[in-house]
Chain A
Amino acid sequence: MTSIDPSAPAVELVGVDKVFNEGSANAVDALQGIDLTVRRGEFVSLIGPSGCGKSTLLRVVADLLPPSRGTASVFGKPAPQARLDQDHAMAFQKAGLFDWRTVRANIELPLELKGWSKADRRARSEEMLQLVKLEEFGSHYPFQLSGGMQQRVAIARCLTFEPKLLLMDEPFGALDEMTREHMQAELLRIYEELDTTVIFVTHSIAEAVYLSSRVVVMSPRPGRIHSTIDIDLGERTDAIRNDASFFEKTNEVRNALRSVEQVAP
């Protein structure tokens, strides 16, 4: 285990290209010339049309995909080392819970992999159940929960060991609008409570603006960073969704996305 360099940014991508099936006739340029630095404590959203490589970018950071060129570092160390050190946690669009584990056992999975004792795991999973307001559902199996509740369990699972970096791939994409807004508020509360860093992939402009301190707009084929928009809306409340400053920012992101769509063939 390599210790974390306190001065290093959370994530640093330098000149990252990703080509699938490189060298063959059906090679796909998924990412090209990606330079991105995410500071500690930032909440960065990646947004862009389908095929812009935002999920691929997330997987390069997570070391689930190796970059074809360039370097990916997490907390100052190479991405593979950060993965082995379990410095980050991932959440997906599909809750991806294990059918055969109770809600509690699902939440405890990352701790099990880290080798925590049973008693410690149990204590922590109780805390996490409270955090996502599912105290009474610890002994239930996933199929007994609604989609929104399952997603909350998935979020609890990726938060159990208080990772310093959260990588979230459209975690609320499959939820209805009301549940989604509720989950966004929940996520922000947890994010502030745990003082962590988040990279969040989304299709929703409002979601990106509401959650983020910075929105990265990507363009497709090949996936590139088109622009970066800082969001400084102050404290997020429900009222802010109806505030003029909120609309201003969503418009800014929308316009960036429009220009991206027009550039795309």
Chain B
Amino acid sequence: MTGSRFSDRAATILVPLVFGAVFLGVWEWLVRAFDNKQFLLPSPSSIYTAVGDNWGRIWNGVEVTGGNAVYGLVVGSILAVFASLIASRWGWFSDIVTPIASGMVAVPIVSLAPVFNIWFGSTDPFSRRLVVIVVVFFPVFFNVTKGLTQVDAVHVELMRSQAASQWSVIRRVRIPNALPFLMSALRLASSLAIISAIVAEYFGGTQGSLGQLITQSAGLSRYDTAWAAVLGASAVGIAMFVAVAALEWVAMPWRRERTGA
């Protein structure tokens, strides 16, 4: 490893750290200097204190909300991948599903949360999980379908010239070709999952979720607690994103060195 590469790597870590620290410092200073009211914007230090004071509730919220988000991400993605496999294999299925799916993209799915609460009961976590499943489904379905169908013509001719079966083409060409598409969809879907999980909780549901903690704290004018819960939600989002990046690293060894080395 050369010196310049090392300093490049250090810079990529250091720059955002320094920027973040400066940002927090300015924030703290502004709040103190202008004697800001808590309900407008709590200072970073008071949010930090609130995290410590409410650690149990926040951790519990992370478990509930993060659990829903991960559940929805996993189930939604698996369903979408199966739907894509079927759609890429049988044209008629694609003809039925693709227009519906295109239309569904325009539907703000989180707005269905109250409906799902009526269907499954607001105490049943499946009401919130279903919101996440539906939100995750579409980007994964569209991307993976694209990856399964937009294969290199040379690859298909090559497989055909070697008398490869349909299944063999799916396994050896279409699925690996779709992996990068799946991974970029999962990156997008992981943040959509946590967003939709929280917003779904705004419409009611079990106590102890991050969404409920945010709305309740705000209602009680405990803005520092609300912000602490937002911080918890961000941590879940980041953790999911990192998990997807790790999955990408494991699943696609041929893409590893393209950026790093």
Contact = CB atoms under 8 A, between A and B. Distances in A.
Contacts of A102: 254
B52 to A, nearest CB: 47
Interface in B142-194: 152, 154-155, 157-164, 168, 172-173, 176-177, 179
A109 B257 contact: no
B179 to A, nearest CB: 7
Contact-residue bracket for chain A = 20 to 34
Contacts of B168: 113
Contacts of A110: 162
Contacts of A101: 254
Given A83-B161, A109-B172, A113-B163, A100 B154 contact: no
B154 A96 contact: yes
B254 A99 contact: yes
Given A96-B152, A98-B173, A100-B176, A83 B157 contact: no
B160 A64 contact: yes
A175 interface: no
Contacts of A142: 254
Taking residues whose C-beta sits less than 8 angstroms from the other chain, chain B's interface range is 20 to 34
A184 interface: no
A96 B163 contact: no
A102 B257 CA distance: 13
Among B158, B164, B252, the one with the most A-chain Cβ atoms within 10 Å of its Cβ is B158
Interface string A94-117: 101011111000000110110000
Nearest to B252: A100
A89 B188 CA distance: 41
A158 B160 CA distance: 13
B254 A64 contact: no
Contacts of A109: 162, 172
B254 A92 contact: no
Given A83-B160, A88-B161, A101-B254, 13 more contacts: A59-B157, A63-B161, A83-B161, A85-B163, A89-B161, A90-B158, A90-B161, A94-B152, A96-B152, A96-B155, A98-B173, A113-B164, A144-B257
Interface of A: 59, 62-64, 83-86, 88-90, 92, 94, 96, 98-102, 109-110, 112-113, 141-144, 167
- 10 nearest A-B pairs in the assembled complex, by CB-CB distance: A96-B154, A100-B176, A141-B254, A90-B161, A84-B163, A113-B162, A94-B154, A92-B154, A100-B254, A62-B161
